[in-house]
Structure 1
Amino acid sequence: MKRIGKALLALLLVLALAAGGALLFVRRSLPELSGEVAVSGASQPIEIFRDRHAIPHIYARSREDAYFGLGYAHAQDRLWQMEVNRRLGSGTLSEVFGEEALPQDRLFRTVGLRRVAEENVDHLSPEPRAVLEAYVRGVNAFLSEDPPLPPEFTLFGVEPRPWTPVDSLVWLKVMAWNLSGNWERELFRVRLRGRLSPRQAAEFLAPYPGDAPLVAPAPPEQHGALEGPAKALRAAMRAPIDRAIGSNNWAVDGARTESGKPLLANDPHLELYAPSLWYFAHLRAPGLDVIGATLPSLPAVLLGRNADVAWAFTNTRSDTQDLFIEQLLPSDPSRYMAPDGPRPFTIVRETIKVKGRSDEVIDVRIGRHGPVISDVSEAARRSMPDGQVLSLSWTSLSADDRTLEFPVRAAEARSADDLLAATRNFHSPQQNIVYADASGAIGFIAAGRVPMRRAENDVKGLLPVPGWLDKYDWLGFVPWEELPQSRAPASGRIVTANQKITPPEYRHWISSDWDHPSRAERIEALLDASAAHSVRRFAEIQMDVRSGAAALLLPALLRAATTSDEERRAVERLRAWDMEMRADAAEPLIFATWVRELSRQIYEDELGDLFREGFSERLGFLRNVLSDEEGEGRWCDDLRTADSESCEAVSGMALRRALAYLKATYGDDPARWSWGEAHPAVSQHAVLGGVPVLSRWFDVTVQSSGDNHTVNLGGYWINQDADPFVSRDGPGFRAIYDLGDPERSVFVLSTGQSGHPLSPHYRDQSELWAAGGYAPMTTQRSAVERDAIGKLVLIPR
């Protein structure tokens, strides 16, 4: 036994030494933050100070050198993220991850994100083009040092290639794609119409409050035949149709602040990743002094401020994608019908390298409306009606997209007018840009390209349309002067939270996919509750967790028909609840579970095999059903069997199921239940997230409050069987800009600056973020130097 014990001890010692050696090797891949490095591509020395949060403050003697420094810093801290970014958009993930990544590669090769990015580079104006090329030189200067690489490169056997301008712009295309989901909704509507009447489908996809249900006319014989391909194409999409992706931004003018100058707030809501999608940076050079949120891969402070102007985004949710049914020529399937007669497809051959097997070659067909999207999947291709294909039109596939020019010019804006002028080149995706300047101006514009559809196009982009009829063709884009915009509102405030931003008399079609206005209305109410605002007050609003869903649904839920003391106690508990989705409370968990089970109860039978895809928190729909709006309480009946039940009875059954689920999952004692246990915010590593053992190192998890309809959004996907309330979407960063004293501005990331899991800055902002804290957004050199954890100087060779 002693000999076995000694052998085990020796084995453990060997393993410990091996682990220690591996740890030392991995730690050596952390970037150097201090010293001097000789680099090629810079014109003069560049200083990079990193503050205590590892935010780089880059001091250069020219604009191009400042962006060179940004490229270098991005590569130091986020090289693996950048590698995945460019591979995702270029359709080369399979080269690293094998056959499992093929569906994603086929999609982006077919859509042609990299092809259009190559065209976009050639359309940039000289100054933004020079900035892009300087950034690329900065990334490659780091790569040329043959540096120790982040651990993922070793794990997956990847050697990074030199960076190119197209690699940067292709990530801009991916971001636009993620914020432009109209074609998926068109496919969902096609499938929905196979199970519901047009009127029922319009009720299920509830209209914006105050609008009539949108019943889209459509030729049923065409859409019935698209059920198969719609199902096949949607099968490749992992996320539900209606996710809690949105954002908040708002501004108040000086009449409503303590300083007498505007305040501006922003918190973009996207899927949470580790590291965060965002990366903070400060760039200073002659004529340039900008700080804010960048996207690793891109040479820009996309959201931020300088000394004179600040700007913030939310997604407009505009309809910028249309699907077209193209009719092939029976005698020649390489041609298709157009209003002026047959046309040939342009064929682009794409070769996808696949790890562990032979290359895959696909021929992409491109017509006058765009690429043939039904070729993405073999199942979709086979299930298309004979002689037809589906093509995709999307504003972001324009060769002359110059969106990168906006942040480059915004960084050097000196007034609200300068900022507004820069939005002329913001093309895709359309964003609600709220801005403010130090002179006191506040304004808003929904900047971006939106298709102009003909008056006779009664489908309005809701469903696929015949591509051979010119009445469905776009007439170009809405003129910049006619985009929704405002300046100096009488109310002294501007709020956008993905709600409808067009007045009743607005003549252009923008969207039918506006988010429910409860979040925007809550922000407006909180702004109106104070006469004079400060950074501190804005921070309190950003952390507000009063649920718009609870405010809308709870009065009706409390009328549920209960059958036990347990149910009645739950109802009374919610009756006394303040509707705050706090992590330490049980009531949010009871409410969220009840709504989940009520959703299942109301429409699971009606949707059948489509239920999982459409299972989400449909706030407007549930409100209309529970309040019997226009007779929609009939959804509480079993629409298939015509069995009649009251919504009170259905709510009672849903409550019983909810309580049974909660007891089975969290124990019998409701006093021990908490929203925080069910609803942690999980920022997942894009590749290793959720992988046993490794996820402990690569994922970032913190307690969180909020829900899908709170200002401090904590978005969850109720269609998940496991962990349906885990917060997977949320504010990747928060920022507050004070135009009275820009140095009082603050921001915070959901993770940390570093993309290296062993860096102390991989997750060091996450607890601060969860608690509602912030880091100072300082640009004063004396404060930066005093707070610096390192100073790196890049010396030109």
Structure 2
Amino acid sequence: MALIFKWLLRLTGGAIVLALIAVLVLYFLLSRSLPDYDKRLTVAGTSTPVEIVRDNANVPHIFGGNDADTFFGLGYAHAQDRLWQMVTLRRTVQGRLSEVFGARTIEIDKLMRRFALYDLARRSVAAQDAATQEALTAYAAGVNARLAEINQEALGRGAPEMFLFNAPVAPWQPADSIAIIKLMAVQLSSHLENEVLYARASLELDDEARLADIMPLAPGSGIAALPDYAALMPGARALRHASLPERPRDPLSPFHKRAFAGASNAWAAAPARSASGGTLLANDPHLGFSAPSIWYLARLQLDSGGVIGGTIPGVPVVMTGRSHDLGWAITSSYMDDQDIFIEKLNPDNPAEYLTPEGHKPFRTERSIIHIKDADPVTLTLRWSDNGPILPGSHYDLATITPPGHVAALSWTALSDADTTMSAGMSIMHAKTVETALDAGRLYVAPSQNLTLVDQDTIAMKTVGAMPRRNARHDTQGRMPARGWVRQNRWQGISPYSANPEFVAPAGGVLGNTNNKTVDRPFPLHVSFLWGDTQRVYRWRKLMQNREVHTRDSFIEAQLDTVSFTARSLLPLIGADLWFTGEAAPDGTPERQRQRALDLLSEWNGEMNEHLPEPLIYAAWLRALQDRLTRDDLGPLAHEFSHPDPVFIERVYRDIDGAAAWCDVRQSTRVESCTDISRMALDDALVWINETYGTALESLRWGDAHQATHDHQVLGEVPLLRYFVNIRQSTSGGDHTLLRGRTKGTGPDPFQNVHGAGYRGVYDFADPDSSVFIVSTGQSGHFLSRHYDDMAQLWRRGEYIPMSLDPELARAAAVGITVLEPLAR
């Protein structure tokens, strides 16, 4: 027995030693790709020495002898810190994820091949101006210099992920950067999905007047009733219960959070409304959270002066930021830049489709998708005059495409002369609002609201190509239209002057929270779909409460967590529930309901992470939305998982008979809206009791509203996910200025999955007092201390300085890299 015990002890000790050795070897291999920020390196592709000074937050301050060399340095810095992210973005837009990840990403690749965005990006390179082409070439050379260094010095393949998903990394090309901007257009566009959903709801609802409730227009003037989709497309109603394939939900997919599309905040104040006497600008663009963040901070020294702000790895442009003279901010404009066209096939030859001039053959092309550990798949790509043909398996198109028809997509991003990159370059070099507004005419997609300030003027302009539609269009772009009808087809692009513009407003303050910006009749309306109908009211109140603003008041507005929606809806949905009846016995559902109502009655609508009321309110609204829609929409109700405040207000104010949603059609009695409110609150409390317990006063909104900065590949790997994912308790919600968009589905519906990955506030009376922050850190390497060093600052609402002073950067630099040109 003693001998057995001795050998068991030896074996156990040996196993522990081997495990430790394996861990050390693994750490050594993975840590090889940690960049050295303090070095001199001789590189090919630069004509002058390039100095990269990384300040104490690891923000690179890049100094080259000319613009091209500065962009070379940015490419090198991006590849040092975010190589895996860049390569994955490129593979996504190329439709080549399955070469690395296997069959799990095949549906993503199929859709991206049908869009053909990468081919369009390659053709768009020639459309850029000379300065932009030079910058793209130099940036690509900088990325490739880092790739050469990795190969020559065996630097751990450049990123830890490369060991798990080993695949050759092709040299970076100028087209790759343009393609990533096109990929951003995919993430920021939502009209395609909205058109399909509108048509599906039209087919599902017996009373078409109810469409105006469930998919309401933003407050303001309405439009005439649209035609019945079933009347436009005979046979479509029979498809409404068609079985749908699983949508691409892979974390790598640009579509896995697409229901939220784009969102953002930006506001500006003129000198007369600024306490410092200089213009003010704040911006926080919202995208799906990830680790690392999509944003990367950088400072570039250009011939026109220094610029600093948020970049996207792979793109040599400061997308949002400032120079000494100009500040620029972006928010999603929600311009309707997509239309679905239903094409009628020739019954005698399905290779042809009907046009206003008669039948015409599709343009076709074959594309081969290589799949890791599986046979390749060959796609037949088809295009009509209206755009690429999308199969019914994408975007639920099978539910609205009648037999003998196919769906085509018209979209401004499908341009082979896309000069959006040149627009971004020109804005970085601009010194006045006027010059930057003129540069905006080169924007194609994604459309944005561009907010600008110089030393004296503030302005906002919607940039991006705006389709020109016929006033007699069948569906005005809200639903799919017949592609063979001439009046439905796009008639080119509207002139830049038609895009909304606001320059030097009399009130001295302007801003955008993705709200409706103009109220113009179709076809000059810009959009029927807007990203915000609520947050703008809170913003307006905060702006009007002060005669003059400061950098700190703008920061306060960015971090504001009061929900205008909660303040306006709770008195409506609880009107007949507050303080009614005698106190119920403890332990009964009635008593739990009274406790919840007591808490909500004294709540000010602040979505603070430490309070219980936001969780009770959010769960109530979610249950209420489900109660109102499930009966009428059936399975389609899951597409409306986020409560729509305008819909709920219409129902509870009984606007145009909207209270009809409260009656449950399958029941014998007629339910009132008060009945539905009470039942929904009980539903919410049952869910809360099962998930968090019955002690309502001890609930914390932050426990449910966890920000999910998850690694897009390693975030699902057991054990490893605890090292690579960043989770944080957060305040805010769907309708607060500090926006933390909730997931809406699954066992954790209130996870915070979409918000401000970048925040910046700039004061042009004292530019070096400007501040910014990103949601994770600069590095994409999970072993780096800069992987998450900004995460807690971001969560607490703190910022870091935004200075163009090179000496401040050098004073506490974490490293200085000098890239010496190769001797000729």
**What is the TM-score of this pair, normalised by structure 1?**
0.96
Per the alignment, in what secondary structure is the counterpart of residue 759 of structure 2? strand
Pairing 1:540-551 to 2, within 5 Å after superposition? 540-551=556-567
Deviation at 1:22, TM superposition (A): 1.1
| 1:123 counterpart (114, 127, 130) | 127
| 1:263 counterpart (280, 283, 286) | 280
Greater Cα shift, 272-281 or 385-394: 385-394
Deviation at 1:386, TM superposition (A): 4.0
| 2:506 counterpart (490, 494, 513) | 490
Aligned to 2:820: 795
Aligned to 1:150: 159
Per the alignment, in what secondary structure is the counterpart of residue 735 of structure 1? strand
Aligned to 1:160: 169
Aligned to 1:450: 466
Matched, 1:236 2:261: no
| Percent identity for Structure 1 against Structure 2 | 36
Per the alignment, in what secondary structure is the counterpart of residue 208 of structure 1? coil
Aligned to 1:587: 613
Greater Cα shift, 241-250 or 264-273: 241-250
Per the alignment, in what secondary structure is the counterpart of residue 554 of structure 2? helix
Matched, 1:471 2:477: no
Per the alignment, in what secondary structure is the counterpart of residue 41 of structure 1? coil
| 1:785 counterpart (810, 820, 823) | 810
| 1:110 counterpart (114, 122, 128) | 114
Aligned to 1:662: 688
Matched, 1:184 2:193: yes
Aligned to 1:361: 378
Deviation at 1:232, TM superposition (A): 6.8
Greater Cα shift, 28-37 or 366-375: 366-375
Aligned to 2:230: 220
Aligned to 1:201: 211
Cα deviations by residue, 1:108-157 (Å, 9 ceiling, x for unpaired):
10111112111211211111111111111110111012132211111112
Aligned to 1:281: 298
Pairing 1:9-408 to 2, within 5 Å after superposition? 9-145=13-149, 146=151, 147-148=155-156, 149-196=158-205, 197-212=207-222, 215-223=225-233, 225-226=235-236, 228=239, 235-236=246-247, 238=249, 242-243=259-260, 245-374=262-391, 385-408=402-425
Per the alignment, in what secondary structure is the counterpart of residue 528 of structure 2? coil
Deviation at 1:698, TM superposition (A): 1.6
Q: Are the counterparts in 2 of residues 218 and 463 from structure 1 also a CA contact under 8 Å?
A: no
Aligned to 2:583: none
Per the alignment, in what secondary structure is the counterpart of residue 461 of structure 1? coil
Greater Cα shift, 146-155 or 80-89: 146-155
Pairing 1:591-740 to 2, within 5 Å after superposition? 591-639=617-665, 641=667, 643-718=669-744, 720-740=745-765
Per the alignment, in what secondary structure is the counterpart of residue 610 of structure 2? coil
Q: What residue identity is the alignment partner of 1:399?
A: D
Provide the rounded CA distance (Å) in 1 between the counterparts of 2:736 and 2:261: 10
Deviation at 1:383, TM superposition (A): 9.4
Q: Are the counterparts in 1 of residues 609 and 701 from structure 2 also a CA contact under 8 Å?
A: yes
Provide the rounded CA distance (Å) in 2 between the counterparts of 1:684 and 1:535: 31
Deviation at 1:224, TM superposition (A): 5.8
Q: Are the counterparts in 1 of residues 295 and 312 from structure 2 also a CA contact under 8 Å?
A: yes
Deviation at 1:425, TM superposition (A): 0.4
Per the alignment, in what secondary structure is the counterpart of residue 772 of structure 2? strand
Aligned to 2:788: 763
Greater Cα shift, 497-506 or 765-774: 497-506
Q: Are the counterparts in 2 of residues 182 and 319 from structure 1 also a CA contact under 8 Å?
A: yes
Number of equivalenced pairs: 795
Provide the rounded CA distance (Å) in 2 between the counterparts of 1:766 and 1:744: 21
Q: What residue identity is the alignment partner of 1:253?
A: A
Unaligned 5+ runs, structure 1: none
Q: What residue identity is the alignment partner of 1:152?
A: E
Deviation at 1:411, TM superposition (A): 1.2
Deviation at 1:379, TM superposition (A): 9.8
Per the alignment, in what secondary structure is the counterpart of residue 432 of structure 1? strand
Q: Are the counterparts in 1 of residues 189 and 261 from structure 2 also a CA contact under 8 Å?
A: no
Per the alignment, in what secondary structure is the counterpart of residue 413 of structure 2? helix
Over the residues paired in the alignment, what is the CA RMSD in angstroms?
A: 2.0
Provide the rounded CA distance (Å) in 2 between the counterparts of 1:506 and 1:183: 18
Q: What residue identity is the alignment partner of 1:713?
A: R
Per the alignment, in what secondary structure is the counterpart of residue 614 of structure 2? helix
Q: What residue identity is the alignment partner of 1:758?
A: L
Provide the rounded CA distance (Å) in 1 between the counterparts of 2:715 and 2:570: 35
- Relative to structure 1, is the Cα distance of residues 252 and 380 closer, same or farther in structure 2, using a 3 angstrom cutoff? closer
Q: Are the counterparts in 1 of residues 230 and 236 from structure 2 also a CA contact under 8 Å?
A: no
Q: Are the counterparts in 2 of residues 294 and 300 from structure 1 also a CA contact under 8 Å?
A: yes
Provide the rounded CA distance (Å) in 2 between the counterparts of 1:480 and 1:319: 15
| 1:742 counterpart (767, 775, 783) | 767
Matched, 1:515 2:531: yes
Q: What residue identity is the alignment partner of 2:80?
A: Q
Per the alignment, in what secondary structure is the counterpart of residue 372 of structure 1? strand
- Relative to structure 1, is the Cα distance of residues 511 and 676 closer, same or farther in structure 2, using a 3 angstrom cutoff? same
Aligned to 2:542: 526
Q: What residue identity is the alignment partner of 1:654?
A: A
Provide the rounded CA distance (Å) in 2 between the counterparts of 1:310 and 1:234: 45
Aligned to 1:564: 590
**What is the TM-score of this pair, normalised by structure 2?**
0.93
Deviation at 1:507, TM superposition (A): 6.1
Greater Cα shift, 739-748 or 10-19: 10-19
Deviation at 1:198, TM superposition (A): 2.2
Q: Are the counterparts in 1 of residues 559 and 738 from structure 2 also a CA contact under 8 Å?
A: yes
Q: Are the counterparts in 2 of residues 187 and 230 from structure 1 also a CA contact under 8 Å?
A: no
Aligned to 2:435: 418
Deviation at 1:588, TM superposition (A): 0.6
Unaligned 5+ runs, structure 2: 250-255, 581-588
Q: What residue identity is the alignment partner of 2:767?
A: P
